[in-house]
């Protein structure tokens, strides 16, 4: 009997720009998994209804993007430890009696830095710029790598301090504002949205060490990447994070790990 392929979606608003369908189609072809993956535009105030409708239609799982990651966290009936720590959900898995919420952003970024870029975090000074949702989602996976210190820097130091206190039991973590940062950091990660506006977090050039990473990506290097490379750092953008977080979600759903390298290469060439 020929059964229909399993259905997955990426839910957001807007959503037309999402590369997730192309990424997961490549993963499915590569691993021999029978599935279809589409975009789903949900009304800004209609996320949970859109998810429930999709489940009723037989949907097996969903990726969640802006602005619904907090809604997904609230909707999930079970949360993974990394989703609890992130306070947001980007991956949903639907079972008969549960909606599992996970967050694969942090592990996606760490895999891109440690495995793909070959930059170890263990024993290193790491600086994380920004104290919003993007920053919060990666803190636990960074601390799991056992850096010597993680400093969260933000324009408003109290927000960074609030975030640091949430994770104080997981490793050596501190907070600062941008201007008061001291010393050089082996790894600097930009989790602010400054690059979207061709802007730069106002950090001292002396903080830049051997490696800098911007979660944003594009055809050209970001302003932050230019700044960091000018001051001697090897730089990388967030395209690999996009592919790796998708691969982790694919593993959560299908129990199979796709090879991300050819998919990353294809997306990079298409930018």
Consult the annotation and say whether 134 binds a ligand: yes
232 has binding-site annotation: no
Q: Which of 132, 123, 118, 227 is nearest to 185 (CA)?
A: 123
Q: Which of 254, 256, 222, 270 is nearest to 19 (CA)?
A: 270
Annotated ligand binding at 131? The verdict is: yes
229 is in an annotated binding site: no
Dihedral of CA atoms 261, 266, 269, 271 in degrees, nearest 10, equals -110
Separation CA 109–CA 99 (nearest Å) = 24
Would the annotation count 158 as a binding residue?
yes
Q: Is 103 annotated as a binding residue?
A: no
Cβ atoms < 10 Å from Cβ of 239: 17
DSSP string, 76-108: -SEE-HHHHHHT--SEEEEETTEEEEE--HHHH
Residue 206 marked ligand-binding:
no
Is 148 annotated as contributing to ligand binding? no
Q: Is 159 annotated as a binding residue?
A: yes
Instruction: Round to the nearest angstrom and report the end-to-end CA distance of the chain.
Output: 41
Please confirm, yes or no, whether 69 is among the known catalytic residues.
yes
- Candidates 69, 84, 93, 124; catalytic one: 69
Cα 26 to Cα 105, 247, 264: the distances in Å are: 19, 11, 10
Find out whether 219 is annotated in a ligand binding site: no
Does a cis peptide bond (omega within 30 degrees of 0) precede residue 84?
Answer: no
Question: Can you tell me the distance from the alpha carbon of 69 to that of 89, in angstroms, rounded to the nearest whole number?
Answer: 5
Q: Is 133 annotated as a binding residue?
A: yes
Q: Is 13 annotated as a binding residue?
A: no
- Local structure of 13: helix, strand or coil: coil
Q: Phi first, then psi: give them for residue 83, nearest 5 degrees.
A: -70, -40
Q: Tell me whether residue 157 is annotated as binding.
A: yes
Q: Is 154 annotated as a binding residue?
A: yes
Task: Please give the annotated binding residues, written as ranges.
Answer: 18-20, 65, 90, 105, 130-134, 154-159, 215, 217, 238, 245
Task: Please give the annotated binding residues for NADP(+), written as ranges.
Answer: 130-134, 154-159, 215, 238
Task: Please give the annotated binding residues for shikimate, written as ranges.
Answer: 18-20, 65, 90, 105, 217, 245
**Among all residues, which ones are annotated catalytic?**
69
């Amino acid at each position: 009997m020929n059964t229909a392929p399993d259905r997955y979606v990426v839910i957001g608003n807007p959503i037309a720009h999402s590369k997730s369908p192309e990424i997961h189609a490549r993963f499915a072809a590569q691993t021999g998994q029978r599935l279809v993956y589409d975009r789903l535009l949900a009304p800004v105030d209609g996320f949970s209804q859109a998810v429930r409708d999709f489940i009723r239609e037989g949907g097996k799982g969903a990726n969640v993007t802006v602005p619904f990651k907090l809604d997904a966290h609230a909707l999930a009936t079970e949360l993974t430890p990394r989703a609890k720590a992130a306070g947001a959900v980007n991956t949903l898995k639907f079972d008969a009696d549960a909606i599992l919420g996970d967050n694969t952003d942090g592990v996606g970024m760490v895999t891109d830095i440690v495995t793909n870029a070959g930059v170890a975090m263990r024993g290193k000074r790491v600086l994380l710029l920004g104290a919003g949702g993007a920053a919060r989602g990666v803190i636990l996976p960074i601390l799991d790598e056992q850096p010597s210190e993680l400093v969260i820097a933000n324009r408003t130091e109290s927000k960074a301090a609030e975030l640091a206190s949430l994770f104080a039991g997981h490793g050596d973590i501190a907070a600062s504002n941008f201007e008061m940062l001291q010393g050089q950091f082996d790894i600097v990660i930009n989790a602010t949205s400054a690059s979207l506006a061709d802007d730069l977090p106002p950090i001292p050039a002396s903080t830049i060490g051997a490696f800098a990473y911007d979660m944003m990506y594009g055809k050209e290097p970001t302003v932050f990447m230019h700044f960091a490379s000018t001051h001697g750092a090897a730089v990388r953008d967030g395209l690999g994070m996009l592919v790796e977080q998708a691969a982790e979600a694919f593993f959560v759903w299908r129990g199979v790990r796709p090879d991300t390298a050819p998919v990353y290469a294809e997306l990079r060439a298409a930018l």
